[in-house]
Structure 1
Amino acid sequence: MDVPQLSVVVPVFNEEDVLPLFAERLRPVLDGLGVSYEVLTVDDGSTDATAAVLEVMRRRWPQLRVVRLQRNSGHQNALTAGLHRARGEYVVSIDVDLQDPPEAIAEMLRVAETGGLDVVYGIRSDRSTDSPFKRWSAGLYYRLVRRVVGRRVPADAGDFRLLSRTAVEALAGLPEHRPVYRLLVPWLGLPSGEVTYARERRAAGHSKYPLGKMIRLAVDSLTSFTAAPLRIATWLGCTGLALAGLLALTGPSILVAVVFLGALQLLCLGLLGEYVARIFTAMQGRPAYVVVSDTATEGARVAVPTR
Structure 2
Amino acid sequence: MFNEREAVDHFVARLRPVLDGLGVTYEVVAVDDGSRDATVARLIELRRDWSELRVVALRRNVGHQTALAAGLRSARGEYVVSIDADLQDPPEVIGEMLTVAREQKVDVVYGVRSDRSTDTSFKRNTAGAYYWMMRRLVGPWVSDNAGDFRLMSRAVVDVLNALPEQRPVYRLVVPSLGFVSAEVPYVRAERVAGETKYPLSKMIKLTVDSVTSFSAAPLKIATWLGLLSFVLCVLLIVGGLIAWGFGAVVPGWTSLYVAVLLLGGIQLICLGLLGEYVGRLYAAAQNRPQFLVAFDTDDSQSSHGVESVELAGR
TM-score when normalising by structure 2: 0.88
Q: Does the aligned pair in 2 maintain the 1:42–1:78 contact within 8 Å?
A: yes
Return the alpha-carbon distance in structure 2 between the equivalents of residues 171 and 27 of structure 1: 27
Q: Does the aligned pair in 2 maintain the 1:87–1:304 contact within 8 Å?
A: no
Matched residue, 1:111: 100
- Number of aligned residue pairs: 291
2:110 aligned residue (121, 124, 144): 121
Shift of 1:295: 0.6
Shift of 1:238: 1.6
3-state DSSP class of the match of 1:60?
coil
Matched residue, 2:80: 91
Gaps of 5+ in 1: 1-11, 298-302
Matched residue, 1:273: 275
Return the alpha-carbon distance in structure 1 between the equivalents of residues 260 and 47 of structure 2: 63
Matched residue, 2:177: 188
Matches within 5 A, 1:100-179: 100-179=89-168
* TM-superposition CA deviations, 1:208-263 (whole Å, max 9, x none): 11111111111111111122211111112222333455577599943334323222
Matched residue, 1:304: 301
- Structure 1 or 2, whichever has the larger Rg, is 2
- Relative contact order higher in (CA < 8 Å, ≥ 6 apart): 2
2:32 aligned residue (20, 33, 43): 43
3-state DSSP class of the match of 1:177?
coil
2:208 aligned residue (219, 232, 239): 219
1:262 aligned residue (256, 260, 264): 264
Pair 240,80 (structure 1): closer, same or farther in 2 beyond 3 Å = same
Return the alpha-carbon distance in structure 2 between the equivalents of residues 39 and 218 of structure 1: 29
3-state DSSP class of the match of 1:160?
strand
TM-score when normalising by structure 1: 0.90
Pair 155,252 (structure 1): closer, same or farther in 2 beyond 3 Å = farther
Question: What is the alpha-carbon root mean square deviation over aligned residues?
Answer: 1.8
Return the alpha-carbon distance in structure 1 between the equivalents of residues 89 and 123 of structure 2: 15
2:297 aligned residue (286, 295, 298): 295
Return the alpha-carbon distance in structure 1 between the equivalents of residues 34 and 215 of structure 2: 31
3-state DSSP class of the match of 1:293?
strand
Among all aligned residue pairs of Structure 1 and Structure 2, give the percentage whose two residues are the same amino acid: 60
3-state DSSP class of the match of 1:124?
strand
3-state DSSP class of the match of 1:161?
strand
1:234 aligned residue (223, 239, 242): 223
